[in-house]
Amino acid sequence: MRGARLLIGMGFAAAAVLLAVAPVRAASLAPCPQSPNCVSSVEPPDRENYIAPLAFQGPPDVAWKVLQETLPTIEGFYEIRWAGVEMLHAVFRTSLFGFKDDVQFLVDAKRSVIQVRSESRIGWFDFGVNRDRLERIRRALPPPFVHVP
């Protein structure tokens, strides 16, 4: 029993060392794949899968809180998988077949926007579902969000 405790303790110590020396990466959204079932605000604006980020005025933490409170009111919302201080991963279900889609948000405080990405988990085409979802979210957001036509 004492040997097992020692090994467990060594395991925690090794994990702590690895965490201490692991490089810290800035949060970012992954680029969309070549398939047309993804839209993202971090894509080049001339690409078909580009969508504008969510613009806001005022403190980023207020906009972040408003976004998190608004998401569950959007049709198809399933869950917030995880949320941090600047990044969030939500899951939505499609209305027809109930497929799960992944939607990510990333606060870009310097530009006063929240970057967005929505991708279907399965299938090649999304028939515009991901773009429509993000535009519904954009329209549902109250101030401090700014709606630019």
pLDDT in tens, 51-95: 999 999 999 999 999 999 999 999 999 999 999 999 999 999 998
Q: How confident is the model at residue 127 (pLDDT cuts 50, 70, 90)?
A: confident
Q: What is the pTM of this model?
A: 0.80
More confident site: 79 or 14: 79
pLDDT in tens, 23-42: 334 579 999 998 899 999 99
Distances (CA, A) of 86 to 2, 14, 42, 67: 42, 28, 15, 12
Q: Is the peptide bond before 144 cis (omega within 30 degrees of 0)?
A: yes
